[in-house]
Chain A
Amino acid sequence: MKKVFAGIGGMATAMLLGLAPAQAQDTIKIGLIMSFSGQFADLGTMMDAGVKLYMKEHGDTIAGKKIEIIRKDSGAAGTAPDVAKRLAQELIVRDKVDIIAGFSLTPDALAAADVFTESKKVAVIMNAATAIITARSPYFARTSIPLPAAMGALGTWAAKTGGAKKTFTMVTNYGPGIDSEIAFQTAFKAAGGEVIGGVRFPVANPDFSAFAQQLKDSKADSVYIFVPGGEQPAALGKALAEHGVTPKTVKIFSSGELVNDEPLKSMGDAALGIISGWSYSWTHKSDTNAKFVKGINEMLNGRNPDQFAVSGYDGMQLIYKALEKTKGNADGDTLIAAMKGLAWESPRGPVSIDPETRDIVQNIYLRRVDTVNGKPQVVEFDKLDAVKDPVKLQLKADGKLNPDGTAK
Chain B
Amino acid sequence: MRVLPSLIGIEAVVLVLLLGVWWSRQAEVALPHVGDRAVGVADAGPGAPEAAGVDRAQGASASSERREVVVSDGGASAGQQVILQGRLLTSTAFPEMDSIRMSMRRQGTWRSAEISAAGGYAVCDLSPGTWRVTCEVPGFRRLDFEHTLTGAAIQRLDIELQAAVVLPVSIRTTDGKRLQAELTKTGLWQGLGIVITAAALVGDFEPTENSSLSIAGVGRHRKSGDLNQLAEPDGDDGVLELDQPPPVYAAVLLRHTVLAQQRIDPGQTEVHFVIDLAEVERRYAKVRLRLVGPNGPIAKAMIRLSTAQGGGHGGRTDENGVAVIDKVLPGLASFDVMSPDSERYSTHLTVEPGADLDLGDIVLTAPGKLQGRVVGADGVGVAASVQWTAVDLWRPPHPMMDRRSTSADGDGDFALTDGMRRYSMRALAQDGRVGFAVVDASAAPTERFAITVLPAHKVRLSCPPMSLRVAVVTDRDGNPLVVSRLEQRWNEGSISLPDGDYQLTIYDGRGARLGSEALRVAGADLAKELQ
Whether chains A and B associate is: no
- Chain B residues at the A interface, C-beta cutoff of 8 Å: none
- Chain A residues at the B interface, C-beta cutoff of 8 Å: none
